[in-house]
């Protein structure tokens, strides 16, 4: 059994954890942006699927992973645009529209994939890794963390960029005001609808990128329903992170480790159903909620459409 | 009448309104209003609730557009299309409901509204704020979170915000409703310093005394129309009493006295009668968003009207909720007719005759989307004869509801109309009918006339007097001192969750209460 | 205020309880339902057209297979049984303003426990009693499963959207674990539970293949509708849903009612799982998840949380999915198209309702 927990195994496990965590991270960061601005975005699963499909198609036909990321962001934004129009501009119920978009995109991407590729599942070539000198020589964590695709580093950098935006920029103030007291933002001369629209579209872009990472970098192919609840996990992460991007990163890594462990166990031939391990992160979070269950500090105006002068 | 004095456009006007009309479904909020606003003047807009003051401000601050007429800024016809546009024109507004983000700091709130890609210019702001606060003689905690500030401090932040943005016109909407008497005086002095610096101020209020004390020019609004204006020349020429009686005439027609100051009927309360409600050493733990209560004790005898005076947010709502059983108490006891009710639920307390008429009519008093008929019985769901074995008896409900609608003069198109479609006064009647229905012994009224028009205010007050006259014990919570003085037998003052003193309602009650409210001994 | 207000805001827009029903209203409502559905069919049809499928041929095939062929209509009516139970559960939750998004987990756990208990129980007791016991067990398990989100929401104010979502992920995995480790049928190679013999399953109706579970489902949803609209208990739940603060003010025991709502909603989802297993499937295979829960949510909204309307929409959904499954085999259009169609119907209907509301408002203003 020594081989099981050997260096190579641990390293592969960690590598897998990071790969599994990135889509969740992007989804969580995206959802966090919407929620901060007061929009509960249940359609994020649909945005991820749109991104995954278009990202795959883009990368498959162009041969460029980066072009794939571009088309995936476009796909996510397109879905987000529908959400922004219906929920932010004309104020329809966010949960209803969100679920409709998720269901619709589940169906649409499966449908399009069927007519595009019939029953074949073409693969993309394996991605190139960017090796970070020195750091990648550290045993175990070196190969796991510092021999990743460039997009992984960018996604992690995004965590800190978002943190900076929220704490140090005018946009961060605007977003928080849009979620906590939209009327105050309005009388300060900033358009609430526009601020929330920006947030929702950014969410779409991030979710789309997350979907593309899942398909193109993680799996190397697109299969219908590939997100398998990753968007909903993003919602959970965002709500638990209480507005802080770093917590989304920690949460995503926790889930990533568990997901990676499942694969590793299968490879190692251990006879525990993978479902047991998949349950672990949820179990951990639920236990935490039961033990420390307190009112999650959600934005005051979350889920409520803004109407100027409504009394 | 002197309303014809400023109809023509004057070069000195920063902002002028000409024939401005604004309609909402069912109401004409403003009907052909003319108004001239000049630098160096405090222009008081005086009127009852529903006179159209808020709508007028909405149009000046870019939240709403007029349906007819035009607004001139510096003599040019201008459509103020958005709050941003209003700010750019130099119009700053301090709204009645605070427009600050509670989770941000004061500095962050002041910085809100800059170009989105920029870093907030904190240093620049600090310098600017220091300069303004020095000339105005106020202090502001820039790095405190807004949720930690008192309402008075929040208001100063809002005024400061308007100043930071170089406003030439400052609109203050019902700014005194949340302030202590001392705070109101300070605000008056601050306004004076601001107009001396050349600013124009529009000060909205429904209180005659403030209008007379702080104004240079007064415009009186009534049911959406401007019914009169007192220009500065006349203002200076007349004494305060004359001005007040002139305003009263404008607002209420040809009656010489303030109609709100109705003489308090002398009632005889049986001093030896056992108290109906006894509160002893009651305490409530504070929560994140509400102050606690400590050691509250008082008795109310049959037929007695006890008032609770105090600035809003000092624990009045917590007291009412604790008595009604809606809020957990930390210690102390409440007795109803001598029997302790501490362990009883809201429903059981109601059953025994303890009634609570909430101040939040739509927020918790009613379910807006439900029909009027059901809202009468919201606190009796499941009770016979309206429900039998849990099944709704529509005929019984409608019969009784129709009876209550007649008895309490509720103006509603039908029993099935969603209650939120009624006016505030009629919703209040639904609540009165519900709480005063059979079996009431002790009634708690929380701000019963807040936001009502004059007719409904007077009607509600009469109901409350009648309630006491029927031998019930009444607890009247109000932030309107005049109301308490005109109705109560005794008035207790609440501050920071503590009853700081109780005053017999005699001649010197007003001064004593004023001293208690600012923390001096009576 | 927090996110808690979102359901009630939704409920006001979609709640039909306060309206006065007249004949013109019914006509108007019918128009407002059928019009958008037609528009959605056209939009979805143009998607089919874009991928090279004749929409008319597709729709008529779906209609023929799902509604007009004797076999199809029987399958459709059978499919309705679990969906009706799920819809009934969601009506209770949504009317009480609680977003139970955990239907799939509750459904699967109900299914697995029913599948585990029924084959064992038929050996020791008459089949009818075994079925009843299995239903009760499935219901109880689902109820207990909902207790965590219910208690967290009732006593700690933890948002139920996250907790029910997490519990549904957990429940799905747990159901699989149970199938693979605990209730696995030793007699088969693929992991699945023991199979309930066909003769011990819920009886079929008359000489058809329609399960009698359909009747149970109809009873469930009609009962729910009547309880919600005609009883004191239903009114209490609606008060909690429409205005939680008014519920506290009126002295309703909101925490207890919250727990009750979750229990009823989850119990009905558990029954949905049981009715599918005991009437149709006979066993649960590992990784089986029809994901009815999410698909039924739009149905409940389309029906504006009205039980009778929900029956109609559940029927429509069943026709579409049975017909769609058939079309997948014959026309090569994946049955996922049904999801697209449902989603478009929901969006168009919400949009139509908004436009109708705006139109009425401007007309009212013009009248003055």
What is the C-alpha separation between B304 and B464, in angstroms, rounded? 11
Return the pLDDT at C13.
36
Query: How far is it, in rounded angstroms, from Cα A39 to Cα A62?
Result: 35
- List, for residues A124-161, the tens digit of each pLDDT value: 888 787 777 877 777 777 777 777 888 899 999 999 99
C359 touches chain B (CB under 8 A): no
Interchain CB contact of A232 with C (< 8 Å): yes
Quote the pLDDT of residue C5: 34
DSSP secondary structure code for residue B148 in this structure: G
The answer, yes or no, to whether residue B254 has pLDDT greater than 60, is: no
* Beta carbons of B114 and A187 less than 8 Å apart: no
Segment A83-114, tens digit of pLDDT: 999 999 988 888 889 989 999 999 999 999 98
The confidence score (pLDDT) of residue C83 equals: 96
Q: Is B133 within the bounds of a domain?
A: no
What CATH code is carried by the domain that includes residue A189? Answer: 1.10.3470
Q: Residue A296 — very low, low, confident or very high, per pLDDT cuts 50/70/90? A: low
| pLDDT of B256 above 50 | no
Q: What is the pLDDT of residues C94-148, one digit of tens each?
A: 999 999 989 999 999 999 999 999 999 989 999 899 999 999 999 999 999 999 9
User: Kind and range of the H or E element at B230?
Assistant: strand B225-230
pLDDT of B269 reads 63
Beta-bridge mates of residue B475: B306, B444
Task: Write the pLDDT tens digit of every residue in B446-481.
Answer: 989 877 777 788 888 999 999 999 889 999 998 777
Q: What is the pLDDT of residues B295-354, one digit of tens each?
A: 999 999 999 999 998 877 788 899 999 999 999 999 999 999 999 999 999 999 999 999
Going by pLDDT thresholds of 50, 70 and 90, the confidence category of residue B288 is low
Predicted local distance difference test score (pLDDT) of residue A177: 92
pLDDT value, residue C14: 37
- Helix A44-62 to helix A192-212 angle (10° resolution) is 50
Distance CA A267, CA B507 (A): 90
The token pair at B453 is 């028009």
Helix axes C103-121, C127-145, angle to 10 degrees: 150
Q: What is the pLDDT of residue B270?
A: 62
Q: What is the mean predicted confidence (pLDDT) over C17-31?
A: 68
What is the C-alpha to C-alpha distance for residues C18 and B421, in angstroms, rounded to an integer? 12
Cβ of A108 within 8 Å of Cβ of C340? The answer is yes
Compute the nearest-CA separation of C250 from chain B (Å). 5
Residue B139 within any structural domain of the chain: no
Q: Are C263 and C308 in contact (CB under 8 A)?
A: no
Establish if C40 touches chain A: CB-CB under 8 angstroms.
no
Residues B188 and B330 in one domain: no
Which contiguous run of DSSP H or E holds residue A147?
strand A147-148
Q: Which of A219, A231, A213 is nearest to A52 (CA)?
A: A213
Please tell me the pTM assigned to this model.
0.84
Coil/strand/helix, residue B193? helix
Q: What average pLDDT does chain C have?
A: 87
pLDDT(B412) > 90: no
Closest of C21, C178, C227, A250 to residue B390, by C-alpha: C227
From chain B, pick out residues whose CB is under 8 angstroms from the CB of C10.
none
Q: pLDDT category, B63, cuts 50, 70, 90? A: confident
Identify the pLDDT of residue A309: 58
Q: What is the pLDDT of residue C12?
A: 34
Q: Tokens representing A27?
A: 């989804």
Segment C44-67 mean pLDDT: 90
Does the CB of C252 have a partner CB in chain B at under 8 Å?
Answer: yes
B92 closest CA partner among B62, B135, B120, B122: B62
pLDDT at C178: 92
Domain membership of residue A110 as a residue range: 7-295
Measured distance CA(A137)–CA(A142) in Å, rounded: 5
A50 by DSSP, 3-state: which?
helix
CA dist B228 and B224 (Å) reads: 12
Cβ C250–B379 below 8 Å, yes or no?
Answer: yes
Q: Are residues B246 and B304 in the same domain?
A: no
In angstroms, the CA B512 to CA A218 distance is: 76
Residues paired with B339 in a beta bridge = B336
Chain A contact for B502 (CB, 8 A cutoff): no
3-state secondary structure chain C: CCCCHHHHHHHHHHCCCCCCCCHHHHHHHHHHHHHHHHHHHHHHHHHHHHCCCCHHHHHHHHHHHHHHCHHHHHHHHHHHHHHHHHHHHHHHHHHCCCCCCCHHHHHHHHHHHHHHHHHHHCCCCCHHHHHHHHHHHHHHHHHHHCHHHHHHHHHHCCCHHHHHHHHHHHHHHHHHHHHHHHCECCCCCCCEECCCCHHHCCCECCCCCCECHHHHHHHHHHHHHHHHHHEHHHHHHHHHHHCHHHHHHCCCCHHHHHHHHHHHHHHHHHHHHHHHHHHHHCCCECCCCCCHHHHHHHHHHHCCCCHHHHHHHHHHHHHHHHHHHHHHHHCCCCCCHHHHHHHHHHHHHHHHHHHHHHHHHHHHHHHC
- Residue B296 in domain: yes
The verdict on B373 and B333 lying in the same domain is yes
- Collapse the DSSP code of B445 into the 3-class scheme (helix H, G, I; strand E, B; otherwise coil) and give the result: strand
Predicted confidence band of residue A9 (pLDDT cuts 50, 70, 90) = confident
CA distance C84 to C213: 10
Q: In sequence order, what are the residues at sequence separation of 6 or more whose Cβ sits closer than 8 angstroms to the Cβ of residue C268?
A: C85, C86, C88, C89, C92, C139, C220, C224
Looking at the structure of chain B, the number of domains it has is: 2
* In chain B, residues 30-59 whose CB comes closer than 8 Å to chain A: 58
Confidence of residue B264 (pLDDT cuts 50, 70, 90): low
Q: Which of the residue ranges A78-82, B19-23, C30-34, C122-126 would you say has the lowest mean pLDDT?
A: C30-34
Q: Is the pLDDT of residue B96 over 80?
A: no
A239 touches chain C (CB under 8 A): yes
Query: Are B41 and B188 in a shared domain?
Result: yes
Based on the fold, state whether residues B191 and B328 are members of the same structural domain.
Answer: no
- Give Cα separations from A157 to A30, A162, A175, A241, B468 (angstroms): 14, 9, 20, 17, 69
Nearest-neighbour CA in chain B from C227: distance (Å): 8
Provide the sign of the torsion angle of the four alpha carbons B496, B502, B505, B508, taken in this order.
Answer: negative
Q: Kindly state the average pLDDT of the residues B139-163.
A: 83
Cβ contact, residue pair A278, C173, below 8 Å:
yes
Kindly indicate the confidence band of residue C4, based on its pLDDT and cuts at 50, 70 and 90. Answer: very low
Chain C residues with CB-CB distance to A273 below 8 A:
176-177, 180-181
Which pLDDT belongs to residue C267?
A: 97
User: The tokens of B414 are what?
Assistant: 């039908």
What's the pLDDT score for residue B267?
Answer: 60
Q: Is the pLDDT of residue C24 over 90?
A: no
Domain contains A2: no
* B427 plus B309 within the same structural domain: yes
In the structure, what pLDDT confidence band is assigned to residue B4 with cuts at 50, 70 and 90?
very low
> Is B84–A191 a contact, with Cβ atoms under 8 angstroms apart?
yes
- Amino acid C9: pLDDT: 35
Chain C residues with CB inside 8 Å of A104's CB?
Answer: 339-340, 342-344, 347
Q: Is position B109 within any domain?
A: no
Reported as a single tens digit per residue, the pLDDT across A216-260 is 998 888 988 888 888 988 988 888 888 899 999 999 998 888 888
Residue B249's pLDDT is what?
74
Tokens matching residue C144: 């207990």
DSSP class of B311: -
- Region of C253 (left: φ > 0; alpha: ψ -120 to 50; beta: rest) is beta
Which stretch of A293-307, C46-60, C294-308 has the lowest confidence by average pLDDT? A293-307
Residue with tokens 């700091």: B105
pLDDT over threshold 70, residue A263: yes
Does the residue A308 lie in any domain?
Answer: no
Range of the domain at B35: 15-98+165-252
Q: What is the mean pLDDT of residues A179-196?
A: 89
pLDDT tens readout for residues A151-176:
899 999 999 999 999 988 899 999 99
**Contact call for residues B333 and B280 (beta carbons, < 8 A):** yes
Q: Which residue has the higher pLDDT, C19 or A280?
A: A280
Instruction: Name beta bridge partners: B70.
Output: B18
Residue B88's domain is classified under what CATH number? 3.40.50.300
Using alpha carbons, list the distances in angstroms from residue B505 to A205, B306, B501, C334. 67, 10, 13, 81
Residue B193 has pLDDT above 90, yes or no: no
How many structural domains compose chain A? 1
pLDDT of residue B165: 84
């Amino acid at each position: 059994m020594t081989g099981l927990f050997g260096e190579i195994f641990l390293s592969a496990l960690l590598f897998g954890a990071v790969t599994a965590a990135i889509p969740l991270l992007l989804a969580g960061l995206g959802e966090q942006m919407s929620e901060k601005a007061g929009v509960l975005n249940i359609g994020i699963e649909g945005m991820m699927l749109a991104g995954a499909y278009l990202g795959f198609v883009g990368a498959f036909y162009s041969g460029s992973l980066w072009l794939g990321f571009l088309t995936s962001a476009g796909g996510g934004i397109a879905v987000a645009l529908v959400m922004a129009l219906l929920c932010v501009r004309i104020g329809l119920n966010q949960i209803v529209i969100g679920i409709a978009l998720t269901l619709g995109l589940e169906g649409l991407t499966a449908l399009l994939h069927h007519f595009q590729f019939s029953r074949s599942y073409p693969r993309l070539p394996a991605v190139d890794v960017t090796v970070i000198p020195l750091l990648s020589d550290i045993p175990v964590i070196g190969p796991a963390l510092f021999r990743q695709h460039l997009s992984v580093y960018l996604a992690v950098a995004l965590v800190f960029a978002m943190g900076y935006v929220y704490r140090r920029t005018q946009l961060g103030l605007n977003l928080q005001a849009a979620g906590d007291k939209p009327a105050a933002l309005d009388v300060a001369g900033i358009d609430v609808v526009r601020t929330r629209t920006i947030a929702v579209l950014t969410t779409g872009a991030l979710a789309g990128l997350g979907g593309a990472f899942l398909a193109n970098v993680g799996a190397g192919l697109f299969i219908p329903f590939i997100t398998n609840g990753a968007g909903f996990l993003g919602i959970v992460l965002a709500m638990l992170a209480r507005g802080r991007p770093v917590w989304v990163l920690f949460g995503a890594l926790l889930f990533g480790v568990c997901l990676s462990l499942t694969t590793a166990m299968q490879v190692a031939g251990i006879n525990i159903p993978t479902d047991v391990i998949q349950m672990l992160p949820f179990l951990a979070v639920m236990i935490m909620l039961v033990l420390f269950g307190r009112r999650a500090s959600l934005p005051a105006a979350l889920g409520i459409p803004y109407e100027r002068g409504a009394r | 009448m002197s309303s014809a004095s400023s109809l023509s456009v004057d070069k000195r006007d920063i902002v002028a309104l000409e024939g401005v009309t604004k309609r909402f479904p069912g109401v004409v909020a403003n009907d052909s209003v003319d108004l001239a606003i000049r630098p160096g003047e405090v222009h008081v807009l005086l009127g009852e609730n529903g006179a159209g003051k808020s709508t007028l401000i909405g149009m000046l601050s870019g939240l709403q557009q007029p349906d007819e007429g035009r607004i001139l800024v510096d003599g040019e016809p201008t459509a103020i299309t958005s709050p941003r546009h209003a700010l750019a024109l130099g119009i700053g507004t301090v709204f009645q409901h605070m427009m600050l983000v509670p989770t941000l700091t004061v500095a962050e709130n002041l910085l809100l509204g800059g170009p989105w890609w920029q870093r907030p210019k904190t240093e620049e702001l600090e310098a600017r704020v220091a300069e303004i606060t020095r000339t105005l003689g106020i202090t502001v905690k820039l790095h405190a979170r807004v949720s930690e500030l008192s309402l008075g401090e929040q208001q100063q932040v809002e005024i400061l915000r308007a100043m930071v943005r170089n406003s030439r016109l400052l609109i203050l909407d019902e700014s005194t409703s949340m302030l202590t008497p001392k705070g109101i005086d300070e605000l008056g002095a601050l306004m004076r310093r601001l107009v001396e610096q050349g600013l124009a101020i529009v000060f909205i209020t429904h209180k005659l005394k403030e209008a007379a004390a702080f104004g240079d020019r007064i415009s009186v609004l009534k049911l959406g129309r401007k019914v009169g204006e007192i220009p500065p020349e006349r203002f200076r020429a007349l004494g305060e009493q004359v001005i007040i009686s002139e305003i009263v005439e404008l607002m209420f027609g040809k009656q010489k006295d303030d109609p709100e100051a109705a003489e308090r009927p002398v009632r005889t309360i049986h001093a030896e009668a056992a108290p109906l409600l006894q509160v002893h050493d009651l305490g409530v733990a504070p929560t994140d968003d509400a102050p606690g209560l400590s050691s509250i004790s008082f008795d109310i005898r049959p037929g007695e009207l006890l008032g609770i005076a105090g600035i809003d947010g000092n624990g009045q709502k917590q007291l009412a909720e604790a008595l009604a059983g809606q809020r957990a108490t930390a210690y102390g006891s409440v007795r109803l007719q001598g029997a302790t009710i501490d362990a009883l639920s809201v429903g059981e307390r109601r059953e025994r005759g303890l009634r609570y008429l909430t101040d939040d009519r739509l927020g918790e008093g009613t379910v807006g989307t439900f029909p009027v008929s059901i809202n009468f019985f919201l606190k009796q769901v499941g009770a016979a004869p309206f429900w039998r074995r849990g099944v709704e008896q529509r005929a019984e409900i409608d019969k009784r509801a129709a009876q209550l609608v007649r008895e309490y003069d509720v103006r509603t198109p039908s029993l099935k109309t969603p209650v939120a479609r009624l006016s505030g006064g009629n919703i209040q009647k639904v609540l009165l009918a519900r709480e005063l229905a059979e079996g009431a012994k002790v009634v708690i009224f929380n701000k019963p006339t807040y936001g009502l028009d004059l007719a409904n205010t007077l009607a509600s007050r009469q109901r409350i007097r009648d309630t006491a006259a029927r031998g019930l014990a009444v607890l009247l919570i109000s932030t309107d001192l005049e109301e308490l003085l005109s109705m109560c037998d005794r008035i207790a003052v609440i501050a920071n969750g503590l009853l700081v003193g109780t005053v017999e309602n005699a001649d010197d009650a007003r001064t004593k209460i004023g001293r208690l409210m600012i923390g001096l001994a009576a | 205020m927090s996110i808690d207000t979102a359901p009630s805001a939704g409920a006001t827009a979609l709640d039909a309880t306060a309206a006065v029903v007249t004949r013109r209203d019914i006509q108007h409502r019918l128009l407002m339902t059928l019009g958008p559905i037609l528009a959605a069919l056209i939009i979805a049809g143009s998607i089919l057209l874009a991928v090279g499928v004749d929409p008319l041929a597709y729709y008529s095939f779906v209609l023929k297979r799902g509604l007009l062929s004797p076999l199809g209509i029987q399958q459709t009516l059978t499919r309705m049984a679990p969906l009706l139970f799920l819809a009934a559960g969601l009506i209770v939750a949504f009317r009480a303003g609680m977003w139970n998004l955990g239907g799939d987990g509750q459904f699967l756990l109900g299914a697995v426990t029913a599948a585990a208990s029924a084959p064992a129980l038929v050996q020791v007791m008459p089949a009818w009693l075994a079925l009843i016991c299995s239903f009760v067990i499935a219901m109880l398990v689902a109820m207990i499963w909902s207790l965590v989100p219910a208690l967290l929401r009732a006593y700690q104010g933890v948002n139920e959207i996250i907790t029910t979502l997490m519990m549904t992920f957990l429940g799905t995995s747990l159901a699989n674990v149970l199938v693979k480790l605990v209730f696995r049928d030793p007699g088969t190679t693929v992991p699945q539970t023991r199979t309930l013999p066909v003769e011990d399953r819920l009886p079929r109706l008359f000489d058809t293949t329609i399960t009698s579970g359909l009747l149970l489902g109809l009873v469930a949803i009609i009962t729910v509708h009547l309880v919600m609209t005609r009883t004191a208990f239903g009114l209490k739940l609606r008060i909690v849903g429409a205005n939680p603060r008014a519920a506290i003010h009126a002295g309703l025991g909101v925490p207890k009612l919250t727990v009750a709502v979750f229990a009823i909603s989850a119990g009905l989802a558990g029954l949905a799982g049981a009715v599918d297993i005991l009437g149709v499937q006979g066993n649960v295979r590992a990784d089986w998840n029809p994901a009815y829960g999410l698909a039924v949510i739009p149905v409940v909204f389309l029906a504006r949380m009205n039980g009778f309307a929900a029956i109609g929409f559940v029927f429509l959904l069943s026709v579409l999915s049975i017909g769609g499954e058939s079309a997948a085999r014959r026309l090569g259009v994946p049955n996922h198209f049904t999801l697209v169609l449902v989603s478009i119907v929901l969006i168009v209907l919400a949009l139509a309702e908004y436009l109708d509301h705006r139109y009425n408002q401007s007309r009212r203003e013009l009248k003055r």
